[in-house]
């Protein structure tokens, strides 16, 4: 199959949907001639013109709010927020408006809007341009949250997102934009709420998503040489969350490592741990549930410091070794 | 005054309905029949009714928390409004929203908003959809004087202007943001000045005179369709407290009384009599009808079923 | 000891600090002559005057931002946000500015600002005036989060908050404002990060905070008559979180129920469950860790619906019974 | 021109330092020595240098992401700036912030901000503290043309006006917000018009003429101290891309070249020569000094230690 980068896959999905459905419009800062801060929409202005590919002033509240109103009026806006950190500027429109409009108006309106935004650290862009904020929205009823980890998923899940009648926060993994992978031609959708087991194993269940999937797979390969077989589950969407896949993998392996880039405390990892600890998998656990998230710190500028605050392959491998080690469990017995 | 008599009577009826609706709602509060809060627009009836009565069914409105006049002006049903106020399943929002979130997509209401200024960008989005679809309709966005200090106001007006959207921004200036008087929340006295920041037209007028409000809206509608956004400031006054729990220690009784001398309903009644459009009997009959409509709405609401608790999650997400 | 309401206790703490330290200033919408939407600051304008008790325009971003700048310049602003839902309007200033200023400027500034705001449902104020949003901020390094459940705690913890050199989100429990309790006279502080065991027990550890503390105590009383002894731990502050108290109580009881008003998914309950499941307490668990949070729904207007979406005493008692029931655990063995 | 010769030379030196600092920083980028991004102000030197050189040490500034001229104008050290750019422990923020978050509390800089418009409310808070403490100092808040479309701008200017705070708002208008030209992000051509919404004074001037910028600031400072906020718009142009990765496909080379004909450094040099303030040799000497200062800064930065990873959590919270 042909290969595309993650960024190209996103552009392809958005372009296909815009060709298919003229109610799809695309709004954001510098998405037109500039092609977006990360070049995702390069060439789209030329194909779709300035009426459908709309540069906006720097006004995140108005941009998202405009998306909400347009969606309530029957369009399917795709809104780009240049860095996911800037969702904070539009938080009211996302949480109090988009996510609540349907419910508070008794189902009279739906809000089929997608907010696309690049998430995560690793580019030396420091505290205000590097956060992983998915947990806020997983805690917000009324909005879906998606974190594709491959070009193929990025394409299929963006298509799903655009066709979804609800607001969807589509968190693009900044450091994956240039990563290549096989991507089917033509339109296809990937359902939300279905995790993908990226690697089968029986010793430790690694539950992860987004850019950390790759690092978990690398760590799993590293420890496989030592006889530890980790299973790597890529959640793909965080709301809805694939509870069954989480529980099944935890039950199968009896040991669980949860990995994400976002700060550990209050992160989605807590939700995952809680699901397992309150499920039938609990009875099959052979060791405490381990979380390996980012340090509870803003993202620093200096490259080495920046690397220090998010989980690295070596750290994940160490955690796997610690979990798999015999005797780690049941000192009580 | 080239407004047809039927339209004038409609304006009078809607204003009376608004006043009776709210007086009744306030009484239901006192009787402990309502759990929640409400923001009444008594004294401001001419604004929402005047503006919305000048709109076509396909025009859209975005309402405020103080918007019963806007809702009734646009043609919402009193019974379903009252049912929503009482939190009933037959209410517009099936009891989910209450009067702070009243909406009726069938008459073009995008709903009221509990976040001050929160509805302004949404209205811009609706106008964007109208422009994109090449519709002839416009969107009217209501907000208060206090709301013009929110960032959302600024961003939304600028965006609407840059994109030349068919939207009429209507500021209902009642000179107070909760307890804070206009001159302590902004340093200008004419809010219409704010239009200049966006290169759009701004105009202020007496919001207690329903005829000028109606006529200004008709004119603004044509302007907006041709030229893009405009800001209309309607100066008026609220008689009641900000919400049910307002001590009203921030203004004098005299100030309130002086505004009551220019009560929008009385002004309009006098005008209709003076111009010979209606007789006193006709006006009393309209008022009586308004009263009966409100009574029927209460009956409808009170006899309506409560929402079912097992359906509470119904509209969190669309299928 | 004399009794004060929760609202009075807050007013007393703020007033005492303003008397003690003239760098404490108080900003917010309608806090002056109106006394605040919930009457918390009634009478303060009269005592401290309009220079120190400042009504603001409706501009949450500017209000919080002004607090940040004033704090960076050496004042100790206390900022009121009228309903905690409106933090969404000021999210950038809270998360990207207040919580990061110290770190990103390499420690050159501190931000001794308190954001006081009423949190929670129960007043019929519907979707946009009833949320419990603490989880967002527990996930934000650089800001502390406090949720006092009694008048005495409200006073002592607000004093601590005002004296803290960091931004503190002080989440007042709306439905507790009129609740009375004993409150010591004069200044005192209550440290953050120290939970309080409100009721001792040995069968089930109930970990909770804020307004749910009262309901958990009621539920504990109800099941005590049936021979179930629940221990009720009031966390008091969520950032920092008293990890030791959580683990100790879980270890002691072997069964855990976590209760909060906020939506279950992505809530602080996940963090608590994850802490337990990755601690030595894990080895002492006799049953899965149960969470009882709010339904994953916006808060509806209708009173009965509103009551339905948050945990009630009866539901908490049922959960306690379910957890304590013999045989509920270890079907695996 | 009543400006002392020493001051004029200081202005020239700081502008040269800014230019050389950024040209050198850009080269370090190309050499792969920097991880991250940077926003250069080459072409805009007269704005930040002109304004900040008119301030007293106790006056405060809030900087933008494009603020090396502001930093150098206010007296920040080149070596610690360069060290921050390279992420070193000796940098102003100990390598935590990079040049988007450069700050120096010792010279009155409240820091640069990575959120467009995010620093404006913070500057208002600093001015509030100055007023509250009855200090004589003022706060200067920098932002770009694009930033004036953020809600934060609107709220902050309104609040500052209502409270009559001693703050000078300085809009560095380089006619672009990233790739978006002014006439496509707002519908007015003179940004100073926006002052009217807040009832404050607004004034636009040539931002490439450092002498008018300096003099206007001196005057504005007195005004602001007495009367409260003012908005000063400095019209200028950036030569380089928005940030390191800018394709610059949104403007023509001719446009850039036409602005270069009014280069602020050349303009100022010509003026100094024409007015007989400095000889060509003196100016060359100042420029040479600037070059040496920057070279020394690079040496300092390159030889400085990296931050220790075990101290990364040091400043998350104050003790
Ligand atoms: C973002 C936000 N801030 C504050 C409030 C609380 N609040 C509700 S209405 C109101 C006053 C609004 O004043 P104005 O816009 O003049 O409208 P009015 O109530 O006078 O009709 C306030 C402060 C809110 N609902 N939302
Ligand atoms: C809230 C927010 N939105 C968008 C950005 C991305 N961004 C950084 S600088 C910039 C352009 C700013 O334009 P202007 O204010 O004119 O300043 P200039 O860059 O021209 O100096 C943009 C869009 C940001 N950093 N913050
Ligand atoms: Mg008002
Ligand atoms: Mg610019």
Among residues of chain A, what percentage have pLDDT more than 70? 98
Buried b (16+ CB within 10 A) or exposed e, A63-102: bbbbbbbbbbbebbbbbbbbbbbbbbbbbbbbbbbbbbbb
Same domain, A45 and A92: yes
Q: Using an 8 Å Cβ cutoff, are C247 and A252 in contact?
A: no
Average pLDDT, chain B: 97
Burial class of A330 by CB neighbour count within 10 A (0 to 12, 13 to 18, 19+) = exposed
Number of H helices, E strands in chain D: 11, 8
Residue C29 structure tokens: 């919408």
- Helices assigned H by DSSP within chain A: 6-20, 44-52, 60-72, 91, 101-104, 134-138, 151-163, 212-224, 243-253, 268-277, 303-309, 313-324
pLDDT average, residue stretch D43-61: 98
Instruction: Give the confidence band of C326 by pLDDT, cuts at 50, 70, 90.
Output: low
- Give a yes or no: residue C189 inside a domain: no
Q: Does residue A129 carry a catalytic annotation?
A: yes
Residue A228 CB–ligand 2 contact under 6 Å: no
pLDDT per residue over A245-289, tens digit each? Answer: 999 999 999 999 999 999 999 999 999 999 999 999 999 999 999
- Angle C229-C232-C235 from CA coordinates, rounded to 5°: 165
Q: Given this model, what pLDDT does residue A326 score? A: 58
pLDDT per residue over C153-187, tens digit each? Answer: 999 999 999 999 999 999 999 999 999 999 999 99
Per-residue DSSP letters for A23-80?
A: TEEEEETT-STT--TTSTTTTHHHHHHHHHEEE--S-HHHHHHHHHHHHHTT-EEEEE
CA C139–ligand 4 middle distance (angstroms): 33
Domain boundaries D5-299, corresponding CATH code: 3.40.50.970
Note the pTM of the prediction, 2 decimals.
Answer: 0.98
With H, G, I as helix, E, B as strand and everything else as coil, classify residue D204: strand
Q: Using an 8 Å Cβ cutoff, are C30 and C86 in contact?
A: no
Greatest alpha-carbon pair distance for chain D in Å reads 57
Minimum distance, in Å, between the CA of residue B162 and any CA atom of chain A: 8
The residues in B 245-304 lying below 8 A from D, measured between CB atoms, are none
Q: Given this model, what pLDDT does residue D247 score? A: 84
Same domain, C174 and C112: yes
Instruction: Give the confidence band of C330 by pLDDT, cuts at 50, 70, 90.
Output: low
Q: Which ligand is nearest to the CA of A57?
A: 2
The residues in D 144-203 lying below 8 A from C, measured between CB atoms, are 151-152, 155-156, 158-159, 162-163
Q: Using an 8 Å Cβ cutoff, are B76 and B92 in contact?
A: yes
Contacting residues of C for B34, CB less than 8 Å apart: 124
CA B189–ligand 1 middle distance (angstroms): 19
pLDDT per residue over D204-234, tens digit each? Answer: 999 999 999 999 999 999 999 999 999 999 9
pLDDT per residue over A214-249, tens digit each? Answer: 999 999 999 999 999 999 999 999 999 999 999 999
In the numeric block, the tokens 């960008």 are attached to B121
- Give a yes or no: residue A228 inside a domain: yes
β-strands A53-55, A114-119 pairing:
unpaired
Residue C260 structure tokens: 């909060």
Give the Å distances, CA to CA, from D199 to A106, C176, D142, D193, D195. 42, 42, 20, 10, 6
Buried b (16+ CB within 10 A) or exposed e, D106-140: ebbbbbbbbbbbbbbbbbbbbbbbbbbeebebbbb
Give the Å distances, CA to CA, from A237 to A151, A171, A270, B162, D239. 15, 10, 16, 36, 43
Mutate: best of C134, C238, C256, C271, partner A, most A CBs <10 A: C271
How many angstroms separate the CA atoms of C70 and D128, rounded?
A: 6
Minimum distance, in Å, between the CA of residue C81 and any CA atom of chain A: 14
With H, G, I as helix, E, B as strand and everything else as coil, classify residue D95: coil
- Does ipTM surpass 0.90 in this model? yes
Contacts of C74 (CB under 8 A, 6+ apart): C23, D129
Phi, psi of A166, rounded to the nearest 5 degrees: -115, 165
With H, G, I as helix, E, B as strand and everything else as coil, classify residue D292: helix
Flag whether pLDDT at C333 surpasses 70: no
Number of H helices, E strands in chain A: 12, 14
Q: Using an 8 Å Cβ cutoff, are D267 and D238 in contact?
A: no
pLDDT average, residue stretch A22-28: 98
How many angstroms separate the CA atoms of D295 and D293, rounded?
A: 5
With H, G, I as helix, E, B as strand and everything else as coil, classify residue C144: strand
Contacting residues of A for C278, CB less than 8 Å apart: 273, 288-291
Residues of C designated as active site: 129
Q: Using an 8 Å Cβ cutoff, are B229 and B165 in contact?
A: yes
CA A177–ligand 1 middle distance (angstroms): 43
Residue D41 structure tokens: 């102000």
Q: Using an 8 Å Cβ cutoff, are A73 and B125 in contact?
A: yes
- Give a yes or no: residue C188 inside a domain: no
Q: Using an 8 Å Cβ cutoff, are B43 and B259 in contact?
A: yes
Instruction: Give the confidence band of A330 by pLDDT, cuts at 50, 70, 90.
Output: low
- Give a yes or no: residue C286 inside a domain: yes
Flag whether pLDDT at B1 surpasses 70: no
Same domain, C122 and C232: no
Domain residue ranges in chain D: 5-299
Q: Using an 8 Å Cβ cutoff, are B59 and B126 in contact?
A: no
Provide the CATH number for the domain around residue C152. Answer: 3.40.50.970
How many angstroms separate the CA atoms of B55 and B69, rounded?
A: 14
Same domain, A177 and A207: no
Secondary structure string (H, E, C) spanning D134-203: CCCCCEEEEEECHHHHCHHHHHHHHHHHHCCCCEEEEEEECCEECCEEHHHHCCCCCHHHHHHHHCCEEE
pLDDT average, residue stretch C80-94: 98
Flag whether pLDDT at C328 surpasses 60: no
CA D30 from chain centre, in angstroms, equals 23
Instruction: Give the confidence band of C325 by pLDDT, cuts at 50, 70, 90.
Output: confident
Q: Using an 8 Å Cβ cutoff, are C191 and C136 in contact?
A: no
Provide the CATH number for the domain around residue A218. Answer: 3.40.50.920
Tell me the best of B44, B48, B177, B184 to mutate to test the pocket of ligand 1, counting ligand atoms within 8 Å of each CB and taking the most: B177
Q: Which domain holds residue C305?
A: 196-325
How many angstroms separate the CA atoms of D14 and D34, rounded?
A: 24
How many angstroms separate the CA atoms of B138 and A205, rounded?
A: 56
Q: Using an 8 Å Cβ cutoff, are C323 and C226 in contact?
A: no
Minimum distance, in Å, between the CA of residue B48 and any CA atom of chain A: 20
Same domain, A272 and A164: no
Same domain, A176 and A210: no
Contacting residues of A for B101, CB less than 8 Å apart: 104-105
Same domain, A67 and A107: yes
Minimum distance, in Å, between the CA of residue A34 and any CA atom of chain D: 6
Give the Å distances, CA to CA, from D295 to A1, A13, B21, B75, D298. 52, 49, 77, 73, 5
Give the Å distances, CA to CA, from A260 to A118, A265, A291, A294. 16, 11, 8, 7
User: How many inter-chain contacts (A to C, CB under 8 Å) are there?
Assistant: 166
CA D146–ligand 4 middle distance (angstroms): 5
Instruction: Give the confidence band of B244 by pLDDT, cuts at 50, 70, 90.
Output: confident
How many angstroms separate the CA atoms of B312 and C241, rounded?
A: 33
How many residues are given for chain B?
A: 319
Phi, psi of D35, rounded to the nearest 5 degrees: -105, 120
Same domain, A124 and A230: no
pLDDT average, residue stretch C210-224: 98
For chain B, the C-alpha Rg in angstroms (whole number) is 19
Contacting residues of B for C92, CB less than 8 Å apart: none
Same domain, A149 and A205: no
Instruction: Give the confidence band of B173 by pLDDT, cuts at 50, 70, 90.
Output: very high
DSSP state of C87: G
Count: domains in chain C:
2
Same domain, C266 and C244: yes
How many angstroms separate the CA atoms of B64 and B149, rounded?
A: 15
Question: What angle do the packed helices B280-303 and B5-30 form, to 10 degrees?
Answer: 40
pLDDT average, residue stretch A5-23: 98
Tell me the best of B100, B116, B147, B149 to mutate to test the pocket of ligand 1, counting ligand atoms within 8 Å of each CB and taking the most: B116
Mutate: best of B158, B177, B180, B182, partner D, most D CBs <10 A: B158
Tally Cβ neighbours within 10 Å of residue A20: 13
Among residues of chain A, what percentage have pLDDT more than 90? 97
Residue B237 CB–ligand 1 contact under 6 Å: no
Contacts of D82 (CB under 8 A, 6+ apart): D21, D24, D25, D91, D294, D297, D298, D300, D301
Instruction: Give the confidence band of C332 by pLDDT, cuts at 50, 70, 90.
Output: very low
Q: Using an 8 Å Cβ cutoff, are B153 and B185 in contact?
A: no
Q: Given this model, what pLDDT does residue D245 score? A: 81
pLDDT per residue over D272-300, tens digit each? Answer: 999 999 999 999 999 999 999 999 999 99
Contacting residues of C for B318, CB less than 8 Å apart: none
Residue B185 structure tokens: 């929340």
Contacting residues of A for D307, CB less than 8 Å apart: 300, 302, 304-305
Those chains having 3 or more beta-carbon pairs within 8 angstroms of chain D are A, B, C
CA D66–ligand 4 middle distance (angstroms): 9
Q: Given this model, what pLDDT does residue C308 score? A: 97
- Give a yes or no: residue A35 inside a domain: yes
Q: Given this model, what pLDDT does residue C184 score? A: 98
Q: Given this model, what pLDDT does residue A89 score? A: 98
Minimum distance, in Å, between the CA of residue A74 and any CA atom of chain D: 26
Q: Cβ of B93 and C303 within 8 Å?
A: no
How many angstroms separate the CA atoms of D306 and C77, rounded?
A: 36
- Residue whose CA lies nearest to ligand 1 atom number 3: B116
Q: Given this model, what pLDDT does residue B297 score? A: 98
Q: Which ligand is nearest to the CA of B179?
A: 1
Same domain, C95 and C66: yes
How many angstroms separate the CA atoms of A132 and A145, rounded?
A: 12
pLDDT per residue over B95-146, tens digit each? Answer: 999 999 999 999 999 999 999 999 999 999 999 999 999 999 999 999 999 9
Q: Cβ of D200 and B187 within 8 Å?
A: yes
Same domain, A231 and A105: no
Phi, psi of D205, rounded to the nearest 5 degrees: -155, 170
pLDDT average, residue stretch B84-91: 98
Instruction: Give the confidence band of D1 by pLDDT, cuts at 50, 70, 90.
Output: low
CA B180–ligand 3 middle distance (angstroms): 9
- Angle B193-B195-B198 from CA coordinates, rounded to 5°: 135
Q: Which ligand is nearest to the CA of C61?
A: 1
Ligand 2 atom, smallest distance to A128 CA: 25
Q: Given this model, what pLDDT does residue A327 score? A: 47
């Amino acid at each position: 199959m042909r290969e595309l980068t993650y960024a190209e896959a996103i552009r392809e999905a958005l372009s296909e949907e815009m060709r298919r459905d003229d109610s799809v419009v695309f709004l954001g800062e510098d998405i037109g001639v500039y092609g977006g801060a990360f070049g995702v929409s390069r060439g789209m202005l030329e194909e779709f013109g300035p009426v459908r590919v709309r540069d906006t002033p720097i006004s995140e509240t108005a941009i998202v709010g405009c998306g909400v109103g347009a969606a309530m009026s029957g369009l399917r806006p795709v809104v780009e927020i240049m860095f996911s950190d800037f969702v904070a500027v539009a938080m009211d429109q996302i949480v109090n408006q988009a996510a609540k409009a349907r419910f508070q108006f008794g189902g009279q309106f739906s809000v089929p809007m997608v907010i696309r935004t690049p998430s995560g650290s690793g580019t030396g862009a420091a505290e205000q341009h590097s956060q992983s904020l998915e947990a806020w929205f997983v805690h917000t009823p009324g909005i879906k949250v998606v974190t594709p980890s491959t070009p193929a998923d990025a394409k299929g899940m963006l298509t799903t997102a655009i066709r979804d009648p609800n607001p969807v926060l589509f968190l693009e993994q900044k450091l994956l934009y240039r990563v290549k992978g096989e991507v089917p031609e033509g339109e296809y959708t990937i359902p939300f709420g279905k995790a993908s087991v990226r690697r089968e194993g029986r010793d430790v269940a690694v539950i992860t998503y987004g850019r950390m999937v790759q690092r978990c797979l690398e760590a799993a390969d590293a420890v496989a040489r030592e006889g530890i077989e980790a299973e790597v589950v890529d959640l793909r969407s965080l709301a809805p969350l694939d509870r069954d896949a989480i529980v099944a993998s935890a039950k199968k392996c009896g040991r669980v490592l949860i990995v994400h880039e976002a700060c550990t405390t209050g992160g989605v990892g807590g939700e995952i741990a809680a699901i397992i600890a309150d499920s039938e998998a609990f009875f099959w656990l052979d060791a405490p549930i381990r979380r390996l998230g980012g340090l509870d710190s803003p993202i620093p500028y200096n490259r080495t410091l920046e690397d220090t605050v998010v989980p690295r392959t070596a750290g994940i491998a160490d955690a796997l070794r610690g979990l798999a080690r015999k005797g780690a469990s049941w000192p009580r017995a | 005054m080239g407004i047809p008599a039927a339209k004038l009577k409609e304006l009078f009826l809607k204003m009376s309905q608004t006043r009776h609706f709210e007086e009744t709602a306030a009484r239901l509060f006192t009787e402990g029949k309502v759990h929640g809060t409400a923001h009444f627009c008594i004294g401001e009836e001419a604004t929402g009714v005047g503006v919305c009565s000048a709109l076509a069914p396909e025009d859209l409105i975005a309402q405020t928390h103080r918007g019963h006049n806007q809702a009734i002006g646009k043609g919402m049903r009193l019974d379903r409004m009252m049912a929503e106020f009482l939190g009933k399943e037959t209410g517009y929002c099936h009891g989910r929203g209450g009067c702070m979130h009243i909406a009726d997509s069938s008459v073009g209401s995008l709903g009221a908003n509990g976040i001050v200024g929160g509805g302004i960008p949404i209205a811009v989005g609706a106008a964007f959809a109208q422009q994109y679809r090449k519709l002839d309709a416009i969107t009217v966005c209501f907000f208060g004087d206090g709301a013009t200090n929110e960032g959302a106001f600024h961003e939304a007006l600028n965006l609407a202007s840059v994109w030349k959207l068919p939207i009429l921004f209507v500021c209902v200036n009642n000179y107070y943001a909760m307890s804070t008087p206009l001159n302590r929340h902004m340093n200008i006295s004419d809010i219409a000045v704010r239009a200049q920041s966006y290169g759009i037209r701004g105009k202020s007028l007496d919001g207690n005179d329903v005829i000028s409000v109606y006529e200004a809206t008709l004119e603004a509608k044509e302007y907006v369709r041709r030229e893009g956004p405009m800001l209309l400031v309607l100066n008026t006054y609220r008689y009641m407290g900000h919400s049910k729990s307002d001590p009203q220690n921030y203004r004098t009784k005299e100030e309130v009384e002086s505004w009551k001398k220019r009560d929008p309903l009385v002004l309009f009644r006098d005008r209709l009599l003076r111009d010979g459009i209606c007789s006193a009997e006709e006006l009393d009959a309209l008022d009586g009808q308004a009263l009966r409509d409100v009574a029927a709405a209460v009956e409808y609401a009170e006899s309506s079923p409560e929402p079912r608790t097992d359906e509470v999650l119904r509209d969190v997400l669309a299928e």
